[in-house]
Chains A and B, each alone.
Chain A
Amino acid sequence: MSGSSRGNNPHGLRQIGLDQIWDDLKSGVEHVYERQSMARTRYMELYTHVYNYCTSVHMTQGSRSSAKSKKGQGAGGAQFVGLELYKRLREFLKNYLVDLLQGGQDLMDETVLTFYTKQWEEYQFSSKVLDGVCAYLNRHWVRRECDEGRKDIYDIYSLALVTWRDNLFKALNKQVTNAVLKLIERERHGETINTRLVSGVINCYVALGLNEDDLTAKGPTLSVYKENFESHFLEDTEAFYLRESTEFLRQNPVTEYMKKAEARLSEEQRRVQLYLHESTQDALARVCEKVLIEKHLEIFHSEFQNLLDDDKNDDLGRMYQLVSRIADGLGELKSLLEAHIHYQGNTAIEKCGDSALNDPKIYVQTILDVHKKYNALVMTAFNNDAGFVAALDKACGRFINNNSVTKMANSSSKSPELLARYCDLLLKKSSKNPEEAELEDTLNQVMVVFKYIEDKDVFQKFYSKMLAKRLVQHMSASDDAEASMISKLKQACGFEYTSKLQRMFQDIGVSKDLNERFRKHLALSGEPLDIDFSIQVLSSGSWPFQQSCEFTLPIELERSFHRFTTFYSSQHSGRKLNWLYNMSKGEVVTNCFKNRYTLQASTFQMAVLLQYNTADNYTVQQLQESTEVKQDTLVQVLQILLKSKLLVTDADENELLPTTTLNLFHGYKNKKLRVNINIPMKTEVKQEQETTHKHIEEDRKLLIQAAIVRIMKMRKILKHQQLLGEVLNQLSSRFKPRVPVIKKCIDILIEKEYLERVDGQKDTYSYLA
């Protein structure tokens, strides 16, 4: 295709034959590839050669050169010339590389790497230069060829790469890759290596992954890198770590292994960052995790329990970090943790033994200690992972509601009862009341336990009972603390839960005003009472006190009684006052003993003592008749008076008969001048607890029935299982109803004809309007 150098040139363009320029061009290219520095002028000469060649027009070739292009499209406009030059360049490169190969074929290990990387660097550089020299060719002829769809024509730089790939790379890549892998292995064993050798190879492989289908596509495809390096690398890595981890575990404890695994994982991560391609990061991590962690999961699991037992928080944290990399790896750990916490909680409570049954402080503190410990563990070592938090919650829910104490009491309601009693201790006035901030803190901790209590309605009943007592007896340590606790409960359980408690508060406030007004009224009337008298008026719906019993008020108190009743009815006509004598108290001053004592006594006690104003001895029967106090209550009152040595008897204190005589003990002495004989009666306390529990059971039955009716009214027809589910759901914030109780309630409602079974489907109910 070398056209005539001189000939038809109707357009007056210079005709440049390839041969003319080739020799000089060739020597210039050789110069480039010998890495000798080149003067700018020489560079321009070479460039111009190419330019001239490309722009020269060969008339005869005009049609033929267009026929050469496979698509056969006629060249419209400028005619591009280039194939011949292209072919010669291609030939040159091939020869150059084949020669080069000779020098490296027999090399191994580091030497082959040194060879390869050096040659590659230089080749790349030179090829860039050549590419620049051939810029015109690239921009015109090559581009047109590509646009017309020719697949094997590249820009000169890419041509260089392809030629390298097909010649040098093809021949050497196995040795090179092996050498790289050996180096990496040495580095893993702790040797320092020349990482530039590796990164050089990697860069080469990456660059060779040309997207041959679309040269304009951004970036290489990494196909060469992946096939010729990455896959082997990953295989190697897997084998290496499999060996290492198994061997290490055979000779070392798991805790040490975890440290090593951690170190290896970050080492591999750094390795990629330093001298491998970033796309390998994920695949490498997966491989390492598989071999270092997943393969040994069973060992991890058994070690986990040991670590828990020994409270090795750091190691636990490390294990968490490692195992969390494995999908679903944490499941077993979560179960182990839950079981462990549950066990710890139960054991801790068991250790307290019997004392925890009746000492709320010990009970609650033990629970809090366990919770605090494992809460901290979950937050630090387990990174507050939701699954581990859930395990903690589940375990706490179980051991707080069901433990040796509740078993001893034979009732799951013991827990909320003890918690309520603990609150009472905290909020009651005592000799050692904590500071406000500390109290607030403790109450918050109480709420932590409260959250886990299933039978919240039991807590409410006891709490309100104790609050009522505190309010009525003015025994609250701090009104702010009381209010704070109520608002915490409201936040946790809603308004309805605390509405009665708030009303109780209000009543006390109102009573204060009432007392003021009564005093003013007395003052204005000019007829003062002969005794100091104050009252609390409680709205009966909100307070958990029962009706009072039979009682004859002592004469001395009658006047106050009447004055106040009159006063109150004038203020609030239509309201009925029910006097709770069993909750009232007063002070009596003694004039019959050596010293003048002031006795703080309950009203019942006062009633008995005041009898002795008229005589020195009475029988039990007589006392019963004059006070009208119920027999068993009276006996207890008398026993306390006997214990306090105000009264004496010849008979056995524990067996008081109606005929037993009780005498006033004139020789009464006490170190203090103010004596409190108003101590609660033991049986009263126990009985109260039992009645409270019974009330709770009855309340619950009603709540369950109400819930069933509500649900059935809405759903009209419902299957048995679904009904159970919805009932449990609706009541879960108050307590956990037991299925047998729900079934009994269903039976009751069927009998009362609120529901019926759907005929033919024994486990479907329908609502009867």
Chain B
Amino acid sequence: MMFLSLQHRDPMLKKRDDFEDMLEERRNSSDLRYALRCYTPVLYKGLAPCKASMLKSMVLQSDQLHHVIGQVSRETGRAADDVQEEASAILEEMAHCLQLSTVRFFAFTLSKVFKTLFRSICVNEEGIQRLQQAIQEHPVVLLPSHRSYMDFLLMSYILYTYDIALPVIAAGMDFMGMKFVGEMLRMSGAFFIRRSFGGDKLYWSVFSEYVKTMLKNGFAPVEFFLEGTRSRTSKSLTPKLGLLNIVMDPYLKGEVYDINVVPVSISYERILEEALYAREMLGVPKPKESTSGLFKARKVLSEDYGSIHVYFGQPVSVRSLAQGRVNRCQFNLVPRHIPRRPSEEIQSFVNDSAYRLVRAQEENMVLKPWVLLASLLLQNHHQDQTAGQKRGMVLEELTAQAVWLRDMFREYGAFLHWPDHVPPSEVVSSSLSLHRGLVRVCEGRVQLAVEQGFTVTPEEELLSQAVIVLSCASYRNQGLHVFLRPALLASAINAASSNLKQEVFNSFSFLRNMFSNEFILCPGATVQDFEEACYLLVKTGALQVTQQELLVTERGQRTVAFLTSMLDPFLQGYQVRETLYKMFSPCLVRLCFPGRLRYTEVLSSDLQKNSLAALLRLGAVQKIKA
């Protein structure tokens, strides 16, 4: 039934480009000259760039907007001019006003900042070349992963450096709150959208027309974050479909021949917002974006954040995605400028595409050795808690296990940056030293830096411990996509009552379904995922597949145990949720004390949110409005 089609999917065979460090040149030549240099990007079909004001008037004169203005005016009894005014105001609030001078300013300052913060910023130049090609062929959508505030400035910085058309970037309105900075961002190509505008027809219309006008005329690549917001956990978030729907629309309606979507994977060796995110997830509210806040964050400038890897993926043609999936004739019978809800066919197409694109991002995320170490240390930390052993792992043991895990990750096709010419012990120790805020080496044992006895209340102590654990967990999560499917299978094998293939599949399917809010698991792809997991485990010799059964091999025991315990924290999170769904996190904190909960991670609001969503979806919980 399986494996036949899988050979070509072997992740090991995936060829990836080499990286160049773009900071190297910055360290050797003048930043000022760099910021002032001649910038002449090639545009789509050799177009001349379009002024922001012209763009606005194109939007305001568009058929779609005219139609909606008429509609709103009829429905509300307001004068059409009045509604037109409003539309114009919305556009004013939204529109970017990209100015090269601002970009140059950023190019200069960011050069300075990046050089102090990071050891290197590595970019795959072949990807850049592909992007350049793609921009000339068809309108381009850039889809970077989103792990840090840094992301979009970094993107523009890179594109400026390589003389590529600067993107316009969809940003949340909250940035606008930052007075001066908001305007600066606007002038560097950001346009601002409200976080929610559910029923506001006019707003939606202005917004979608604005994006489409830029895109289909090829004025600039459109950039947005498929995940909608920064992932605080380093897990990819369930993709948001609104903007993707909008950017695919011109292709589906035949207004452009094709659209190239370019997934970009930005991986940080150390995330700037590391501790911030952990606190946020523990319920310490997110600080409001403000300029003064930004300045307070200056102290981050003095630390070492390692390197950044930015990988521009293979451009994905929307046309080829839609091939055989969407019948474009459905737009033949209604004028294309009249907004309509996308058909079910289109919704499911956009949804599947979104998952594919997020997976494309994940695939090219560079994983640092620290990801492996964090995974191992976390597992060890949890075991210590229950077993009451001496805390931490012996350094040599950690190194040995890391090497074992490294090989496994490679077999699973991970994009692992483990320097092979350096002895493993050095790799491990340099990795540990970069993350000294999270780990400590004490008497030859490596342990998580969970302080004890300094804080006043037990709650506070738990919270500060949780910050460390959640930070580590977020690094572990970076590698989640690599082992997720095998881990689901390993857990399924453990949970199933027999080795029968069908039984294991059922339990795999149950787990997969339960976790579909938690991880990137494309709806309807259960069989493919199962096959992929089987394939990987068989390939690494951990599993034997017969006609009827799945058997874990002798040497596979270790792998399966490891994989199972990788998923354990999540599993327990969902169990806790199931029993305590009515309580709030404070109760949960108290619950932790008697040692009833092994995993501090359960405290993560992200996990709680996802599990509640899953339980709602599965009908285990009902929402009752008070």
Q: Do A and B come from one complex?
A: no
Which B residues have a C-beta under 8 Å from some C-beta of A? none
Which A residues have a C-beta under 8 Å from some C-beta of B? none
